[in-house]
Structure 1
């Protein structure tokens, strides 16, 4: 670690532990707000105090851990209120009797349909940061999914700025970034590939999701190691008092969910298992068999205490295998194994307001092969230990933490990339982050932060400064403004061959060139406007500057073997969304516009094209994307509709054909032999594939039986049978289509 980084971290650590007299507080009340039945943290719950018999109200909202703190409370008696939509309001009286007194109030709220009233779920899902979407379980079911349970990935694909390459492959691109630039966390543990090979499903069915934060860019200092987007999923805890279960089946997938208390009110366990059946059923009712298979298993243990200490442990395994091109013998296969644990506590005795510790192990393995091609393999193992703290200096909140990661990467690319054949590397990283939340007056909040990472002499250490700002006038005018800027380095790259779009193989490796580390700089500016209680409009513009992103060297002759090159680029765009929500009806329209452009210099460009530098739009540059959702409930029926449109993505056009002779095989007989045919390619990605659009619909009927509930779902994927291209094969010059119209039914039984 160089001297400048050492000095900065030293000053940072000294600053944390030196008490500043100017920041001395009066009384403080802090704690954690959670669901009484499960112990799940309740995010954005409203906590307030009011002097008795009357006086001005002071309040705050809980963070992602359900934690809150109200500072500078003068001596006296106060009414203490905690509110959360869908839960019974908690009321109590607290008394501050001396200066610097710390009161700990951990609150468990009881669910109550009577408190729901005229609920707009966006009251629970409002996010106050640039680039952020907060996702609640209620909203996941708005995207029709051909299974008994709604799925996180089906919902997230319908957000502006999120691009899925098709209905198979499990790849998501966010605002011009690649799938390898996405950080996916579940209860703080990293999972490398949570999306199944059938694009409607992931390891996150609605039963296991408590809440999630999706950052399309501009994420804060607590997240590091990725350059594009963050999906931070908090898993549900098992019920602490009652046993529950659910089982479902459809032509695509079967699901089983089970939860039960271990020690009533104190600990519980949750189990979720999923397995595909489409490979077996597709031959019976579709035009062709779908050679796609996947399964996943999740177990989570949870314990809580009245003192505010909560601990959990999880274990997950996934497996995916299939062909993206059904006519080819090439297959893709991957698996995940994740285990980890976390503990968090709000303390009455400590000067620290909140502390969390997280430990995890994650292993990912993937391969691609076939009868006519050697098998490419890649695997990565990661162990991590993270400690995070929340500390208050007066009204200023300080979040900081330390992290240590050990990784082993292994890959064998069988000459796909000439300079990257086979390798195994182990390395250790350490670092720290720091972020302030500084309120300025009643409406403005600044969140400056920084991340420092050291690769212990393998690569140069990096500092990543970041800034987020928000102006909240929602109480007066229903308006909130937000912005963000920051630098994001990614030392660990996921290399894919995107010369054609039909790939699901990623080789993880430490950046081969320490002087060319992938770097993106994010700039975001947006506005949210509540027109009425039920109608909200949001618009956000963004710019990303990309440096040193790894790409394939482009050869004007179609060849399977290539080498590694680097490109710089820019992404510019705007995402807009209109939401109208009532208890029994919702509709949403989202539009995303973006331009992704790369610039690269390669030796042969001058020879072939007369220019040493080429600018092009990569294969994931979708210029326009439009999403429309509609849903309503009528008695026991629920109807959901989702329509998505995307403009055509780039591909490389053939420029012509010729033939060649391999002189190593001997002198050719040119009169009788025409040689080996080959394709000559135009400049990279100059063509555009046809536009994509699809309509998915579903109708559900709930039957309340004597001992269980039964839900029957009827629906159709691609209901007007649009022929959508999945990808265009560069080497064989043929297109592979996505699914045709697929009617389906799903049957789900669940405990009352």
Structure 2
């Protein structure tokens, strides 16, 4: 596989050097970039069209476009359009190749007409892609947020086919899949844990993000390695023109973003930081409470994020990017009991987890029709648990010798990736958009490393946990091909391979998506994708806690595999001069080689390869239908999404081998989103969500065995449903213009009518009074997490 990858890279470079050397007879090509006039930021998905013939293209992820048209003695006129920006026009002589960069100016008159979700490249009825949604950052910032913290992942949960793991959680469960089946990319680098605060906030700072794209099905061949979805997030590049900043102060966290040119129109930077401060505010209160009892204590929790990016224009055809992200969560508890002046007992404990990603990218315009991006990345996710107990005492009474006993225990788990990837975009004509490329990834897994040190008994010292390496490589090619005026197809093929413990797992993955236009505004669509995933996530909770372990496929544990078939229809609507989009999709996704812990197993004691003995393999099925109606323009915008879905699992060693509902099987899921712009400075937004209650497993009987023992007889797995979930959130934002910039004051209500939604259930023992009368029957009680929560945040730009 590695040899094939090297040969592919060499062949790609030869093709890049030779393609387009000779101008195609009777044709000419115009190519270049489309950028924001004020910032120099590359714009993604901008339409570049020849109005006379209807032929056109769109800018790629790096703002590059290329369009090859028939040569003639007359001029060719091009129209460039992008929602939220003024249109640009260009007339060129259709005789020779032309390179031109468009500078688009933001249009303040289009406030309230910004597209909310959907493909920016072309109308939904004309696109071949299914299950793909772009979410503008400007709209994400307008929606209500928990405790005032804008969260990209929580907005994605409002889309059909996507749900959360529970109250306030930022995890994504896409079309019946689990969190590990989502490929989350930040500037092309995988992020393995996208949650802060035990899942209540995501790691993505919206102020540092340029573009968000979610793919739920019909995956193009250029994406591989996951079964359920691709979340592709691009960071801002930094203002090339002038220095700017923005930030916000909220209830739980504050953030600041700075960007500007290093050398105007040549190099720029952006840096963004965020930190919570509840631990700092609570520290004096905790210390005072402990001091009143003659002890010392420091207990707290915080998280922080830091994003940075540099980019250089090396010339008209070359650009270099260097980006990095680091984020960390830390829970700590330090206590000290003082017995006298020199005797004490100290206990330090902590739980920490975080991501580190970095990417070096080189963009090169090989010729007017061929664009190449080479990408070198490093990604790491790690969690560790630590406990240190230190006791200082005198042996043999008050006059004895001081002795210090110290015991230190550490548990560590991590996954690290090194990757090299090359992607090429080749556009020989408006009817073909060809992409091909390859990637090599070196995975390093450490599912569990345990270290114990005891200074009083060195023979009790322990050190275990080994590193496991896995090599993954992939080649792909795809073509978005217009066969006729009505039929357009995106066909591709991906070849993957994974080598671990001298065991090779190859995979051939065909991808196909097609649309057929019934009319200019109506289309039928279908898609098929086969996918393979070579890594697994071992989890007890299902909500993305940091104790979840990433492990590889091995000689004993096979890689996950899935197929997804989607069919649907799309319609563009225009009513009273306002734009709407309506789409319907149905899907069926069988999955193989899924893994779960055996009954009673957990991450504890999971060192070396012992985890392989704690898991069992099985199958899964997910199927359903999604309806999506969007209002895309006007002072009032928003969408309504509805999902009808089933998600099931079957493991020979669980639930007596019978099929059972997946924990997040949810029959009905609905979301309503409304954003209304009263004036250019006042905006009111609201979201309402409804979902069938989560499935859970409860005991059907409890028996006392004597000596305080108890036996619980559990019913079928996930056979009980919690109450239905529904919630209304509201946000009112007011923008004040200042000489130096602007200030936005936002007031939000989370769970506006204070619905007591279920978080989990616990068993409440019954009891009798002294006369033997029953005062409370044994029953399950519901725990609710969040009542109505008001919050206020202040953001600013300069």
Please classify the TM superposition score into its range, dividing by the shorter chain length.
0.7 to 0.9
Kept in 2: contact 1:359–1:385 (CA 8 A)? yes
**Equivalent of 1:508 in 543, 550, 553:** 550
Kept in 2: contact 1:221–1:451 (CA 8 A)? yes
- Alpha-carbon distance, 1:203 to partner: 3.2
Structure-2 separation of matches of 1:274 and 1:581? 32
1:534 is the counterpart of 2:535: no
C-alpha spacing 1:402/1:514, structure 2 compared with 1 (3 Å):
farther
Structure-2 separation of matches of 1:14 and 1:63? 20
Between stretches 622-631 and 299-308, larger displacement belongs to 299-308
Aligned to 2:392: none
- Alpha-carbon distance, 1:233 to partner: 0.9
Structure-2 separation of matches of 1:15 and 1:570? 44
Kept in 2: contact 1:315–1:340 (CA 8 A)? yes
**Equivalent of 2:467 in 424, 428, 434:** 424
Structure-2 separation of matches of 1:93 and 1:2? 47
- Which residues in structure 2 correspond to 1:55-454 (within 5 Å)? 56=53, 58-76=55-73, 77-97=75-95, 101-114=96-109, 120-121=115-116, 125=120, 128=127, 129-146=129-146, 150-167=150-167, 170-197=170-197, 199=199, 201-278=201-278, 293-304=302-313, 307-321=316-330, 333-348=352-367, 353-367=370-384, 377-394=412-429, 395-412=431-448, 422-454=465-497
1:580 is the counterpart of 2:631: yes
Aligned to 2:792: 745
Structure-2 separation of matches of 1:313 and 1:14? 22
C-alpha spacing 1:367/1:477, structure 2 compared with 1 (3 Å):
same
- Cα displacement string for residues 198-227 of structure 1 (whole angstroms, at most 9, x for unaligned residues): 656323333222122101122111111111
Structure-1 separation of matches of 2:30 and 2:544? 55
Structure-2 separation of matches of 1:107 and 1:357? 24
- Alpha-carbon distance, 1:441 to partner: 1.2
- Cα displacement string for residues 447-467 of structure 1 (whole angstroms, at most 9, x for unaligned residues): 111111223443322111111
Structure-2 separation of matches of 1:703 and 1:19? 53
- Alpha-carbon distance, 1:631 to partner: 2.1
Name the TM-score, length of structure 2 as normaliser: 0.80
**Equivalent of 2:643 in 567, 577, 592:** 592
What 5-or-longer segments of structure 1 have no aligned partner? 324-328, 415-420, 606-611, 661-672
Residue 153 of structure 1: SS of its match in structure 2?
Answer: helix
- Alpha-carbon distance, 1:396 to partner: 2.6
Between stretches 360-369 and 489-498, larger displacement belongs to 360-369
1:677 is the counterpart of 2:723: no
Which protein has the larger Cα radius of gyration, Structure 1 or Structure 2?
A: 2
Kept in 2: contact 1:24–1:393 (CA 8 A)? no
Residue 707 of structure 2: SS of its match in structure 1?
Answer: coil
- Cα displacement string for residues 381-403 of structure 1 (whole angstroms, at most 9, x for unaligned residues): 11111111122455433210011
- Alpha-carbon distance, 1:481 to partner: 3.2
Between stretches 113-122 and 501-510, larger displacement belongs to 113-122
C-alpha spacing 1:729/1:161, structure 2 compared with 1 (3 Å):
farther
1:524 is the counterpart of 2:521: no
- Alpha-carbon distance, 1:14 to partner: 12
- Alpha-carbon distance, 1:176 to partner: 0.8
- Alpha-carbon distance, 1:40 to partner: 2.9
Kept in 1: contact 2:165–2:171 (CA 8 A)? yes
C-alpha spacing 1:146/1:36, structure 2 compared with 1 (3 Å):
same
Kept in 2: contact 1:366–1:505 (CA 8 A)? yes
Kept in 1: contact 2:322–2:359 (CA 8 A)? yes
- Cα displacement string for residues 88-114 of structure 1 (whole angstroms, at most 9, x for unaligned residues): 4333332243xxx54332323232335
1:623 is the counterpart of 2:656: no
Aligned to 2:289: none
Kept in 2: contact 1:106–1:308 (CA 8 A)? no
Residue 62 of structure 2: SS of its match in structure 1?
Answer: coil
Kept in 1: contact 2:159–2:641 (CA 8 A)? yes
C-alpha spacing 1:122/1:678, structure 2 compared with 1 (3 Å):
closer
- Alpha-carbon distance, 1:707 to partner: 2.9
- Alpha-carbon distance, 1:507 to partner: 0.9
C-alpha spacing 1:2/1:703, structure 2 compared with 1 (3 Å):
closer
- Alpha-carbon distance, 1:556 to partner: 12
Residue 467 of structure 2: SS of its match in structure 1?
Answer: strand
Residue 154 of structure 2: SS of its match in structure 1?
Answer: helix
Aligned to 1:30: 31
- Cα displacement string for residues 204-263 of structure 1 (whole angstroms, at most 9, x for unaligned residues): 333222122101122111111111111001111211112111232121221111112111
Kept in 2: contact 1:472–1:481 (CA 8 A)? yes
Aligned to 2:290: none
Structure-2 separation of matches of 1:486 and 1:298? 34
Structure-1 separation of matches of 2:763 and 2:187? 40
Residue 155 of structure 2: SS of its match in structure 1?
Answer: helix
**Equivalent of 1:727 in 757, 760, 766:** 760
Kept in 2: contact 1:198–1:292 (CA 8 A)? no
- Alpha-carbon distance, 1:406 to partner: 1.2
Structure-1 separation of matches of 2:601 and 2:418? 42
Structure-1 separation of matches of 2:300 and 2:26? 64
C-alpha spacing 1:189/1:13, structure 2 compared with 1 (3 Å):
closer
Aligned to 1:666: none
- Which residues in structure 2 correspond to 1:641-656 (within 5 Å)? 641-656=686-701
Aligned to 1:634: 678
- Alpha-carbon distance, 1:170 to partner: 4.2
Kept in 1: contact 2:324–2:357 (CA 8 A)? yes
Residue 79 of structure 2: SS of its match in structure 1?
Answer: strand
Residue 237 of structure 2: SS of its match in structure 1?
Answer: coil
- Alpha-carbon distance, 1:652 to partner: 0.9
Structure-2 separation of matches of 1:490 and 1:556? 23
Kept in 2: contact 1:31–1:308 (CA 8 A)? no
- Alpha-carbon distance, 1:566 to partner: 1.1
Kept in 2: contact 1:502–1:729 (CA 8 A)? no
Structure-2 separation of matches of 1:718 and 1:80? 49
- Alpha-carbon distance, 1:293 to partner: 2.9
C-alpha spacing 1:577/1:304, structure 2 compared with 1 (3 Å):
same
Residue 683 of structure 1: SS of its match in structure 2?
Answer: coil
Kept in 1: contact 2:595–2:618 (CA 8 A)? yes
- Cα displacement string for residues 441-488 of structure 1 (whole angstroms, at most 9, x for unaligned residues): 123211111111223443322111111112356xx5422333211111
1:700 is the counterpart of 2:745: no
Aligned to 1:669: none
Aligned pair count reads: 705
- Alpha-carbon distance, 1:317 to partner: 0.8
- Alpha-carbon distance, 1:413 to partner: 8.1
Between stretches 359-368 and 567-576, larger displacement belongs to 359-368
Structure-1 separation of matches of 2:189 and 2:686? 33
Structure-2 separation of matches of 1:14 and 1:713? 51
Structure-2 separation of matches of 1:149 and 1:10? 43
Structure-2 separation of matches of 1:442 and 1:12? 34
- Alpha-carbon distance, 1:56 to partner: 4.0
- Cα displacement string for residues 590-642 of structure 1 (whole angstroms, at most 9, x for unaligned residues): 1111100111212x86xxxxxx5211012111221111112212223211111
Residue 412 of structure 1: SS of its match in structure 2?
Answer: strand
Task: Say what the alpha-carbon RMSD is for the aligned residues.
Answer: 3.9
- Cα displacement string for residues 145-172 of structure 1 (whole angstroms, at most 9, x for unaligned residues): 1466633122112111212123455422
